[in-house]
Each structure stands twice: as C-alpha cells, then as structure tokens.
Amino acid sequence: MRVIRTEIAILHNTKLSVIDKDEDAFNPAFHFHPELELVLIKEGYGRRIIGNKVDTFEKGDMVFIGSNLPHIWLNDDTGGGHRARSVAVHFRKEIFTDEFYEQRELRELTRFFELAARGIQVTGATRDKISRKLDMLVTIRGFRRILLLLEVLHILSTSSDCKCIINEIYSPVHKEETADRLSQVYKYVQDHFQKDISLKNIADMAGLTPQSFCRWFKKRTNKHFFDYLKEVRIFNACEMLINSEMPIAEVAYLCGYNTVSNFNKLFKEATGLTPGSFRKNSAT
C-alpha cells in the first residue's frame, strides 16, 4: 500500500462535502487530496499521522488539514466494541474566487490556509464551538451550508486555540529559499537519515562548529537536532510499516538503526505502539 491521492470533490460531485461517519474502523489508507479538510473525532482513539508527525488521538480531537497533506487515522483498539465516528468537512479553496481572498478582511483566513499546510490542531473553547457548528453542517443544505462554512472558517482563522501540528522545519521549501541553511540541513537529513549522522557531519555541512550548530538549530526549530533526526527516522519507519511487508529488522536498518531492540524502544516512545502493533493496526 502506498500513499494514495484521492479527490473528494469528484467522489461526491460537489466542492463542499460534509461526511458523518460511523464505522468499525477509520480508513487505513495513508492518503492526500487537493481539498482542505476539517475533522472532528466523535468516538475512537489511536494514532494519527499528519505529514510526518505521529500523535495520539481520542474523542474530541479536531484538526484542519491543508491541501495535499498526507494523513491517516489508525485505531488502537480493533474488535473491542469501540466505534470510529467522525465528522469531516472537505472543500476546495477555489470554492471562493481569487478576488474574494484578496480582500483586506480575509487576511487572517489566507494566513490560516497557509498554516494548514503544516496541519492545525484545534483545542479549547474554539473546538467546542466548532463542534456544535459541525453538527449543524451535517443537517443543513444549500446556501445556508456555505454561510455556516464561512462562519466556521472565520472562527478558526481568528482563534488562538489553533496550533500547527508539524514543526516549521517541514514547511514546503520555496525555490527562493533553497540557499537557506536550515533547508540544506533538512534536505541532508532527508537524503541521509538511513546512515549514521554525527554532530560533526551535520555541523560541517552547515558550516558551523558542533557547539554553534546545536545553539543555532535549537533557536531556529525549538528542538534539539537529534530529536528532529529521530522524528524523521520514525516517520519513515511508519511509512515503511504501512506500505510494505518487509521484516521489522530490515525497516529498522533502513531507517538508520543498527539494533532492532533500540528501534523498538524509540518507536514505542514516539508512537505509543511497538512496530508490530503499529503495522497490525494499519492493516485493519
């Protein structure tokens, strides 16, 4: 199984769809689509992957996902009587015209859509307010649904309860930024995470001393370099476990781990599951 591209608009023959799901398990496909997506988990728990970030989810979890950002929800419990209930709103940015977004009053919304490329988690009072709006979106039709969508987007784009899920380092790299040192570090890690990367290696690549590199990287990303390297390796391990049947020992080796025991330990710390359990849940 690979990362799958889908198109919600074509599937439902509309630029705005509201899907109220009540199933045995969430869709186990690691997929992406051009539509933006707002998701509320009404029942269920497990692990979700958005972009390259693995997090837990439970009832009440709410996220807003940008266009073409890969994502998947994986149940921790299967066959245990728990349901997978959710409400998902899908729509294309093009549902409104370019002139609409160019209005000064829409600056917050334009910025919100830009941040959605990193995934956004919605919490607190905003989540509760949006949850009630989603229940209404499920039942209404026509122009009133469009108006309510605008109200939801206004609340989200002006709220302080919305936080990016993916670290800034994973933001798309624009052509004019290719000379940026942080982008070079990011690309180097993506190309070499399977190998042993020493602090001296990465510092030399960035043109800094190891001590200076540690300070600079922490300041730019708000995390230590080796924590970031672990995230990259674990994310790629998740993809391999979902998309292939290769032995776990081989996955560990291809993700830069020399021993399976160390890989198992770090994988469980990051995801809450052993590699074997993660693969089993992703196949349900």
Look up residue 228 and give its two tokens: 């970031």
The stretch 82-93 carries a mean pLDDT of: 90
In the chain, beta strands by DSSP E: 4-5, 16-23, 31-32, 36-43, 46-50, 53-57, 62-65, 71-75, 84-91, 120-122, 162-164
Q: In DSSP terms, which residues pair with 50 in a beta bridge? A: 53, 71
The stretch 167-193 carries a mean pLDDT of: 63
When pLDDT is cut at 50, 70 and 90, the band that residue 284 belongs to is: low
Q: CA–CA separation, 235 vs 225, rounded Å?
A: 15
* Predicted local confidence at residue 36, as pLDDT: 95
Residue 177 predicted with pLDDT over 50? no
First-residue to last-residue Cα distance in the chain: 13
* Predicted local confidence at residue 81, as pLDDT: 57
The stretch 242-253 carries a mean pLDDT of: 92
Between 221 and 33, the more confident residue is 33
Angle at 242 between CA 25 and CA 46, to 5 degrees: 40
**Global pTM exceeds 0.95:** no
Residue 175 predicted with pLDDT over 60? no
Question: All domains of the chain, ordered by start, with CATH?
Answer: 4-167 (2.60.120.280), 175-282 (1.10.10.60)
State the Rg of the chain over Cα.
Answer: 20
CB–CB of 183/173 below 8 Å?
A: yes
- 125, 146, 145: which is closest to 137 by C-alpha? 145
- Range with lowest mean pLDDT among 23-37, 50-64, 89-103: 23-37
pLDDT tens sequence across 36-67: 999 999 999 888 888 878 888 999 999 999 99
When pLDDT is cut at 50, 70 and 90, the band that residue 77 belongs to is: low
- 201, 17, 176, 212: which is closest to 95 by C-alpha? 17
